Structure 1
Amino acid sequence: MDVAVGIVAQRNNERAQDLAATLAETLECEGEHEQTAVSVVVDELTGEVIDVPAVPVASMATRDLVVSIGGDGTLLFVAREVGSTPILGVNLGEVGFLNAVAPDDARAVATDLVTTLRETGSLEGCERFRLEATSDGDWTLEPALNEIVVHGPRRGHGGGATIEVRIDGECYAESHADGVLVATSAGSTAYNLSEGGPLVHPATNALVVTQMAATDSMPPLVVDPETELTISVSGTDTAYVISDGRNRRRLEPPATVTVSLAAEPVRLVGPRGNFVASLDKLDS
């Protein structure tokens, strides 16, 4: 079968752009060698720098494989845009919990994946579930691979709110706090960790509920992903709910937000990273 590949390089990163050009040339040459059409496109910003056809990242959702070149932030962006399309993460960042492939291995891994697609029409990988925040059916925030955060008008002194967290209808915590964070297992190493939440192995099906600078705090709580989570905000004029630090919705308290599993998980393909070994990089 013919294979369609999308490549997204980290913004304003010359190394990522050079690798995108190399991967595009390698995959197209591989297709010619195997007498199979391998169509490669890159994101629009990268296309301004290298001589490869460019399209909006969101349009790559219809391709067979998308390669993300950069740090975890780049992969989070790609995941938001392409949904359940298989993603190969090439790590140019410091830690790279989501990106398992080193730049030197990118050509070989991408070529192997294209060969598998050509021969079988599909790719095996691991799924990472995502979260979405909703409010009374009025709106739904973009899905989050790492975390959903609900917080007051601002962080720090004088900026919090009264925030109540209910677990399957039962009150787990109610306190004046900067906010509350609900993280996936894949996102436990991100914002959750900086707020004192626990590390969770990414293969674990669990969510972590962590209060942020609460006056009467409860320990972070690990729950099943199917748990009914509601977060209510009061005692302030303004609050916000944020998905993966990027997509934001303003709330007018009193307001209640429901956090639940999104319909489509993210599919990561290629070699899996060594989670335990990557933890050493957190101190660097």
Structure 2
Amino acid sequence: MNVGIVAQRGNERAATLAGKLRETLRDDTVTVHLDTATAEHLGIDGVDVSRMAENDLVVSIGGDGTFLFSASGAGGTPILGVNLGEVGFLNAVAPEDAVHEVREVVNEYLDSGEIPSREVPRLEATGEGDWSVHPALNEIVVQGAQRGHGQGIDYEIHVDDVEYGSGHADGILVSTPTGSTAYNLSEGGPLVHPSVNGLILTEMCASHPMPPLVFEPNHDVEIRVTNAAFAVVGSDGKQARIDLPETITISVSSEPARIAGPSPTFFEALGKLD
């Protein structure tokens, strides 16, 4: 079995725990691969995060940002999230329980060849210009080069070929339930329980906004952007510059993310938003 471990960059506690997990797990049946930065900190060889999908399990140690970073390279490999003392929306395992919980998942795989996990959707964005961005666990954002007065984008939004909204805005955000507590919430979008089978569309500081829309994920969303020299499409914080005019299609990726281990208590985790 191959286990990948990604620790929060620059965090001594995370790196120390990663090293402890590596020493605890390594035996004739388990090979452990640490991300490059963590491995360098510990004085050993590591692998790039983009190769984490080559493992049977990925362990993320840190906050939700570290989990998203791990997920960017994990593909369909189950991810187990370890927090560093504060319950997050993606990291349900406490640091003091990490060795036990990871060993339980490893033993399950060695016994059955499978890792129990729950699927969560990811979003993808494509354009007429034959480009795409990396699938997003939280959100896809289409925005202007800068935010604020005199910036932003002119746009039309179509859902299933019917116009939903148009005008000028700082940007347009489409989120998964997993991401509803992140960028979506800061833009006035609703909190959505992770068990809800839906997506959220939120206009960002629009001139004539529609209310945020929660809709089933089988609907097609197209965003036509016409003005300015270029727009920016962001996927979980990673940005790509897109020449205009362009029509961006946002849809659910064919490959969901898979989360292993215990489920976070959603309403308990909401406390960190206070």
TM-score range, shorter chain: over 0.9
Does 2:3 align with 1:12?
no
Alpha-carbon distance in 1 for matches of 2:140, 2:256? 15
Alpha-carbon distance in 1 for matches of 2:128, 2:85? 38
Residue of structure 1 aligned with 2:20, choices 19, 22, 40 = 22
Which is worse superposed, 131-140 or 81-90? 131-140
Given residue 75 of structure 1, which amino acid in structure 2 is its aligned partner? F
1:67 is aligned to 59
Alpha-carbon distance in 1 for matches of 2:13, 2:264? 21
Alpha-carbon distance in 2 for matches of 1:255, 1:186? 27
Residue of structure 2 aligned with 1:169, choices 153, 161, 171 = 161
1:277 is aligned to 268
Given residue 170 of structure 1, which amino acid in structure 2 is its aligned partner? V
In the TM superposition, 1:122-161 aligns within 5 A as 122-136=114-128, 138-161=130-153
Residue of structure 1 aligned with 2:195, choices 197, 203, 207 = 203
Q: 1:239 Cα shift?
A: 1.3
Alpha-carbon distance in 1 for matches of 2:188, 2:265? 23
Does 2:98 align with 1:106?
yes
In the TM superposition, 1:73-88 aligns within 5 A as 73-88=65-80
Distance 1:14 1:219, change over 3 A: same
TM (norm. structure 1) is 0.93
Distance 1:93 1:75, change over 3 A: farther
2:244 is aligned to 253
2:254 is aligned to 263
Number of aligned residue pairs: 274
Which is worse superposed, 49-58 or 258-267? 49-58
Residue of structure 2 aligned with 1:39, choices 31, 34, 46 = 31
Q: 1:223 Cα shift?
A: 0.8
Does 2:186 align with 1:194?
yes
TM (norm. structure 2) is 0.96
Output one character per residue of 1:1-49: Cα deviation in whole Å (capped at 9) or x when no partner: xx21111111111000000011111112xx4xxxx52111211111112
Q: 1:95 Cα shift?
A: 4.9
Does 2:174 align with 1:182?
yes
Contact residue 125 and residue 270 of structure 1 kept, 8 A: yes
Does 2:227 align with 1:227?
no
Given residue 242 of structure 2, which amino acid in structure 1 is its aligned partner? L
Q: 1:260 Cα shift?
A: 0.7
Q: 1:52 Cα shift?
A: 4.7
Q: 1:59 Cα shift?
A: 2.1
Output one character per residue of 1:36-75: Cα deviation in whole Å (capped at 9) or x when no partner: 5211121111111225542222222121111010111111
Alpha-carbon distance in 2 for matches of 1:150, 1:280? 29
Contact residue 159 and residue 220 of structure 2 kept, 8 A: yes
Q: Percent identity at matched positions?
A: 53
Given residue 26 of structure 1, which amino acid in structure 2 is its aligned partner? T
Structure 1 outlier segments of 4+, above 6 Å: none
Listed as ranges, the gaps of 5+ residues in structure 1 are none
Q: 1:93 Cα shift?
A: 6.9
Alpha-carbon distance in 1 for matches of 2:248, 2:158? 11
Q: 1:153 Cα shift?
A: 2.0
Listed as ranges, the gaps of 5+ residues in structure 2 are none
